[in-house]
Amino acid sequence: MRARVVVIGGGAIGASCFYHLVERGLSDVLLVERAALGHGSTGRSAAVVETQYLDRDRIAVCAWSMRLFRRLEREQGLPFAHHGYLRLGRTARDLAQFHASVEMQRELGMTDAVVLDPPAIERRFPSLEVADTAGGLFGPTDGFVDAVRYCELLAQLGQARGGRVLQGAPVRGIRVRSGKVVAVELDGEVVECEHVVNAAGAWARAVGRLVGVDLPVDGYRRQLVNLESPTPFAAPVPMVIEYVPGMAEEGLYFRGDSPTRLIAGLHWEGYGEVEPPADPDRYREACDGDYTARVSERLGRRYRDAAELRVTGGWAGLYPLTLDAEPILGELHEVTGFWNAVGGGGVGVQTSPAIGAIVADLVTTGATAVLGDLGPYRLERFDPARAGDR
C-alpha cells in the first residue's frame, strides 16, 4: 500500500489532521487507528468546547476551532448542546482578566462572551451558589459536542474526498531511510509514505520511540463522576468551572449531560513532580471512591440541588500532557517527514480543529496563518540544543 501521508491515531486531533490534509488537496492520506475512532481520550472526555480563556493564543485557537464545530453542527448535524460555559473567578485580578478576555474574544470574532457579577449569575442560574466568588466569564453559546461523532464526521468527510481510514490497525513500526520517513508498518502490511503525523495522544511517546525519539508527553489520569437527579432539571445546567488558568490548585467543574444527569470532576493541568504518568494500556478506567467523595462535597457547596443527586458511577481517561501543558506541533528535527500533533492536555477536543489545520498547513506548505508564532509549540522549547528550527 502507498500513501503520501499516514496519520497515526483516530482521536479528535488525528481525525482533524486527516480532514484538513485532505481539504488542502492531498487525497492520498491514510488515517490509521489501532482501535476505533474516538476510542482513546477523546471518547472519555467531557467534550466541552468554548472560548473562555485568558491568553490570546488559546482564545485564537479556540475561536478558530469553534467555527468548525459550528459548521459541522449546521451542515453535518454534529450534536452540539449550547448550554453555556461559566468560568468562576475569586479575585479582582481574575475579573480584570475576564474583561480583557471579552475584548480579545470580540477582536477574534467571538462576540457573545460577557462578565457577570454574582447576583447576575444567580439570577440566570438560580441553582448556583456563587456568593463566595468575584463573578464569572460566561459564554452563552458554548457547550459540549458528541466527540466520537465529531471524529467520525471528519473521517467521513475526508473519505468522501479520497482519503482512506483503517480502524483496528495498530502501527507497529516506522521505517526511516537516510533521516527520512519512508514507510509505516502495520500487522502484515507495509505502507510506503513520505510523511507520518503522530496524533497518538497518550501513546505519542511510544510512537515517537518508533523513530528513536523520546517525546516529553504522557497520559495523566483524570476522572468524571456521574450524578443522577430523580426529576428533570428545571433548565439545562451549563458547564461551570472554578478553575482559572494559571491556578495552582485543582478546580471543580460540572455540566448537565442529559435532562437528569450531571457529570462533575476536578480539573488541573500541571502535574509537577508528584503525579506519575499512567500506562495508557493499563490504567484504572473506573472512578475512585475518595475522588467521588471529594467531588460530591465540593459540588454540594456550589450547586444548590446537589443533595437531590445520586452518584451512579463515573469513569477515568487520560490528559495527554507535555511538561508545560501546551501541545507539540511540527516536524521532528531528527527525522524528515515525522510530524507531531500531540499534547492536547485537558483541551484537546476543543482545540483539535485548529491543531489539525496548523499541522496540515505545515505539512503541505511549511507555514500556517492560524497562529502567528509557533515557537511556543515546537518540541525545541524543551531542549534548545535540538535547535535547527523547521
Ligand X SMILES: Cc1cc2nc3c(=O)[nH]c(=O)nc-3n(C[C@H](O)[C@H](O)[C@H](O)COP(=O)(O)OP(=O)(O)OC[C@H]3O[C@@H](n4cnc5c(N)ncnc54)[C@H](O)[C@@H]3O)c2cc1C
Residue 40, interface with ligand X (CB under 6 A)? Answer: yes
Cβ–Cβ < 8 Å for 63, 351: no
Distances (CA, A) of 382 to 205, 311, 320, 322, 327: 15, 41, 16, 10, 12
318 vs 362 by CB, closer to ligand X? 318
Q: Is 318 in the site for ligand X (CB under 6 A)?
A: yes
Q: CA dist 343 to 26, 92, 169, 200, 205, Å?
A: 25, 32, 22, 9, 10
Q: Tell me the sheet residues that pair with 121.
A: none
Of residues 154 through 193, those in contact with ligand X by CB under 6 A are: 170-171
Contacts within 8 Å (CB) and 24+ apart, 383-389 = 386/333, 386/334, 387/333, 388/333
Residue 343 and residue 324: Cα distance in Å, rounded? 10
Closer residue to ligand X, CB minimum distance, 60 or 171:
171
Minimum separation from the CB atom of position 22 to ligand X (A): 17
Tell me: does residue 346 bind ligand X (CB under 6 A): yes
Among 34, 58, 195, 302, binds ligand X (CB under 6 A): 34
Q: Binding to ligand X by residue 7, rule CB under 6 A?
A: no
By the rule CB under 6 A, 48 interacts with ligand X: yes
| Residue 206 in grid coordinates | 511510544
Q: Are 31 and 155 in contact (CB under 8 A)?
A: yes
Minimum gap (Å) between residue 371 Cβ and ligand X: 17
86 forms part of the interface with ligand X (CB under 6 A): no
Q: Which is nearer to ligand X, 53 or 95 (CB)?
A: 53
Is residue 19 part of the contact set for ligand X (CB under 6 A)? no
Site string for ligand X, 228-267 (x = CB under 6 A): -------------------------------------x--
- Which member of 58, 164, 195, 222 binds ligand X (CB under 6 A)? 222
CA angle 86, 373, 5 (to 5 degrees): 95
The continuous run of DSSP H or E covering 92 comes out as helix 92-107
Query: Which of 30, 32, 86, 157 is in the footprint of ligand X by CB under 6 A?
Result: 32
Query: Which of 12, 31, 137, 379 forms a contact with ligand X (CB under 6 A)?
Result: 12
Q: Does 224 bind ligand X (CB under 6 A)?
A: yes
Q: With respect to ligand X, which residue has the nearer C-beta, 240 or 349?
A: 349
Q: Which three cell numbers stand for residue 46?
A: 467531557
Q: Is 45 in the site for ligand X (CB under 6 A)?
A: yes
DSSP 8-state assignment for residue 52: -
- Measured distance CA(341)–CA(377) in Å, rounded: 10
46 binds ligand X (CB under 6 A): yes
Q: How far apart are CA 268 and CA 253, in angstroms?
A: 10
Q: How far is the CB of 8 from ligand X (least distance, A)?
A: 5
Total residues contacting ligand X by CB under 6 A comes to 42
Asked whether 258 and 312 are in contact (CB, 8 A), the reply is: no
Nearer to ligand X, 139 or 344 (CB): 344
Q: Is residue 356 part of the contact set for ligand X (CB under 6 A)?
A: no
Asked if 286 touches ligand X (CB under 6 A), the answer is no
Which runs of E-coded beta strand occur in 29-150?
29-33, 48-49, 80-81, 85-89, 114-116, 135-139, 143-145
Minimum distance, C-beta of residue 267 to ligand X, in the bound complex (Å): 8
Interface residues toward ligand X, by CB under 6 A: 8-14, 32-35, 39-42, 44-48, 170-171, 199-203, 207, 222, 224, 265, 317-320, 344-350
